[in-house]
Structure 1
């Protein structure tokens, strides 16, 4: 699909092929009528990224290519998470973002601060900023780049500048096998990229949830980074297992990651249930030896009040329908440029067990008057109660539009 105005062109390409070169040749066709000045590419983990990049360069010239690995791709022409999907978004004219790059080798907080300072130097007040980074810091042992640390540093580096930050962590597949980033010129790891959109372009976001509390509030009484040892003075793993009626098998937390999260309610803890008030954290792994669980993010703390949250497929699909309907209403009468869907890989039916693909609900429900693309992510970042935070097991639907005059 194509968004074309006198000053702007946004083009969407999608393909699925086992040969990386052919995937590019199939997906690039919609981008050839108006040569883009920047390409945002989300590349399935089974496609060779060097071949993807070199083929894009051969066909388009020295256009910057940003983006990176994706557990799957989503577009109006199709969607999937086989690892063979390729999504291409071409920008030209006055909607083309500026790409800024920062390695994370010195640590995620300092890297976020450096990237935030770069953004502050070029961004207009209230600018829309898309953040992308490779999620996997190491595979043996598995360690992730904490999105909460990147976001914390980013806000520090911004200083007094205000922007609307949204984005996601990149993965090659749902098993957290690997990740990498296209930085505009090459393939890199341990890297974050910020795309700063020009003045006059705003972004609206809707966060699609799908968890419900199944416990009372409990206090984290012992935690070290992302590893939660105790809830209310008891081994965290045992508490969660008892609440779920589950005994951990040989999968070292696989059952828990598919069934439950820990959620922290924001605002009035006694207010009626509202899914939009929760920040949830997926369980990365569990340790029967220590009775602990390790979360995707290290931003919970001793004394934090949390609840065990069950992942509810019916609620997830309802949240998707309601969020898309609200976004459709917001878009009415506005100059909408692009809808980008950042979808947690765990929401795919292969992981969630849902009988309906949640991405298909979004595809079918979103008005077809706006170009649409998306990717399956490891973590999602979106404005939450005035501050951009990483989120788990959510879908973030972001619509770029020209600001109302």
Structure 2
């Protein structure tokens, strides 16, 4: 059994100590922790949290990073003081930890380097956790986009298809900063791939609740993350016509609360399945250019997309339905951890939802395994039968189990 502990102590060292002690108490008496998955709220000094943790468990490898908030079976929050840790017993085996600290020189090349190294280790289905810090700079504000990083990894993998899940880390919901733990210390501008032991398998559900409200459209003009045209018409005009409103500068940011742009993977005529959609948040609109700017630059000229409704009620129902389905899939089985990676924008403080979807998760989940989660900037998960992709406005529920075999 993996031990999960949490703390909300405002003292960072004490928070690390408390979370570690609570996690150790849940390990079998004869099991020592071999490594840790640690998420820290942005008001904490990560080095001090790490010192408190290691004062309890010793100098084990620690991966994970900053989090806008934490989620465990004991509760959730995003005050900035949350610390959540999962201690993995030695009996499960040790992971292989790969680090690339070259994100500032290009996310795509960093991904290819990681993929090249992963290619010599993984086979299809091997579970890999990926964490990178989302914030490249604050002045000027710039993020590390996940899509070129993930695409680079698959270029390096050379056709192998591991079960890749992960997150872009944040210190808070204002995108102030981010860092990752690389096994030994906190680090900036780095991506960390954690290859789990071969006996550990995983099943993942993508939960967002966004539904298509338009026909398929083709992107006919695009510059990076700026979508200029849809089906030959100004992109902003298309959205205004669909929504029945005129969007000026003051309403441009409100688009992110109403709609996303979604790309369906697999058979375009198949029945709706949220696990097959990659949705992109709309960061802003330009009335002058009649364009919209997406959170990631991975939609290209010729990409076929749909306008997707973003609705808090659908979001909550998606979590309820998805968790219940996972409960059924793991009935009678012995999973070892439920990992929940939750877009920070889905918290009620950002989404305006009257119901915290993390609370719905805690109410519904009945999987006999500890729960460990974080509020993230970007979520990464397998989409349909294809490779993993970066996601927006999404929760990713991954259940780790020991059924994969040696």
TM-score, normalised to structure 2, is 0.92
Secondary structure of the corresponding residue to residue 309 of structure 1 = strand
Secondary structure of the corresponding residue to residue 157 of structure 1 = helix
Q: Distance in 2 between matches of 1:47 and 1:16?
A: 10
Superposed displacement of residue 159, structure 1: 1.9
Q: Which residue does 1:98 correspond to in 2?
A: 96
Any conservation in 1 of the 2:334–2:368 contact (CA below 8 Å)? Answer: no
Range 146-155 or range 158-167, more displaced:
158-167
The reply on whether 1:344 has 2:350 as its aligned counterpart is no
Q: Which residue does 1:6 correspond to in 2?
A: none
Gaps of 5+ in 2: 26-30
Moved over 4 A (4+): 246-252
- For residues 37-186 of structure 1, the aligned pairs below 5 Å read 37-95=34-92, 96-103=94-101, 104-186=103-185
Q: Which residue does 2:287 correspond to in 1?
A: 288
Q: Distance in 2 between matches of 1:127 and 1:22?
A: 36
Compared with structure 1, are the counterparts of its residues 36 and 229 closer, same or farther at alpha carbon in structure 2 (3 Å cutoff)?
A: same
Q: Which residue does 1:398 correspond to in 2?
A: 398
Any conservation in 1 of the 2:13–2:50 contact (CA below 8 Å)? Answer: no
Range 123-132 or range 314-323, more displaced:
123-132
Q: Distance in 2 between matches of 1:290 and 1:44?
A: 38
TM-score, normalised to structure 1, is 0.92
Secondary structure of the corresponding residue to residue 33 of structure 2 = coil
Range 269-278 or range 338-347, more displaced:
269-278
Superposed displacement of residue 237, structure 1: 2.6
Q: Distance in 2 between matches of 1:165 and 1:274?
A: 20
Secondary structure of the corresponding residue to residue 104 of structure 2 = coil
The reply on whether 1:17 has 2:39 as its aligned counterpart is no
Q: Which residue does 2:28 correspond to in 1?
A: none
Secondary structure of the corresponding residue to residue 324 of structure 1 = helix
Q: Tell me the number of residue pairs that the alignment of Structure 1 and Structure 2 aligns.
A: 397
Superposed displacement of residue 271, structure 1: 4.2
Superposed displacement of residue 16, structure 1: 1.1
Q: Distance in 2 between matches of 1:303 and 1:67?
A: 36
Q: Which residue does 2:328 correspond to in 1?
A: 329
Range 170-179 or range 22-31, more displaced:
22-31
Q: Which residue does 2:314 correspond to in 1?
A: 315
- For residues 235-274 of structure 1, the aligned pairs below 5 Å read 235-248=234-247, 253-274=252-273
Any conservation in 2 of the 1:256–1:283 contact (CA below 8 Å)? Answer: yes
